Amino acid sequence: LNLQMKYRRLGKTEIFVSEIGFGAWGIGGISKGATSYGPTDDSSSIRALNYALDRGINFFDTSNVYGEGHSESLIGKTFLKVRDRVLIATKVGLINYEEPADFSIKNLSTSLQGSLKRLKTDYIDLLQLHNPSPYIIQHNHDIMTWVDRLKKKGVIRAFGVSIRSPKEGIGAIEQLKAESIQVNLNLLDHRA
């Protein structure tokens, strides 16, 4: 049995991610609303993160709303001393699952600063908008100026969009110049 991890380029970026990533929504624990995974055990979550890294998984996907930031905090704590070995993707735009999303530059910036602090890092490998509406994708051109500024400062390496439906991906690529598209794909949701 060969357990060697394979890696591939993330879109057209210079980032090479493991073919299997670690989705960190579940380790966040309790969130307000109906989208919570429920209580989790931090020591088990940290063991799972280390287990994944030890087996070659280098791509960890999280969000500021997973456990109201707890998922990011666990990733930051776990990988503080090995930051150069992990690729972190996080998302901005959702405040929580109870309130409407806010894709204003002010909220995106505040959210990003909170994520950087919780993740204990000064850069994000892949910053994604968290489920923007097709209207936001088509009409909020300020986002691209903001993203370009963050890239020039080295705060983010790549930019993407996490969307609900693959149909929204074309607009995200054409209008927002997204380098990565993330779609839901799991046992309950087969839209991708």
Q: Which residues are designated catalytic?
A: 66
Q: Which of 145, 152, 162, 135 is nearest to 63 (CA)?
A: 162
Q: Report how far residue 31's alpha carbon sits from residue 15's, in angstroms, rounded to the nearest whole number.
A: 31
Q: Give the whole-angstrom CA distance, residue 43 versus residue 27.
A: 10
Cα–Cα distance for residue pair 51/120, rounded to 1 Å: 20
Contacts of range 176-179, beta carbons closer than 8 Å, 24 or more positions apart: 176/129, 176/137, 176/143, 176/144, 176/147, 177/144, 177/147, 179/10, 179/11, 179/12, 179/13
Cβ–Cβ < 8 Å for 90, 120: no
- C-alpha closest to that of 39 among 27, 30, 49: 30
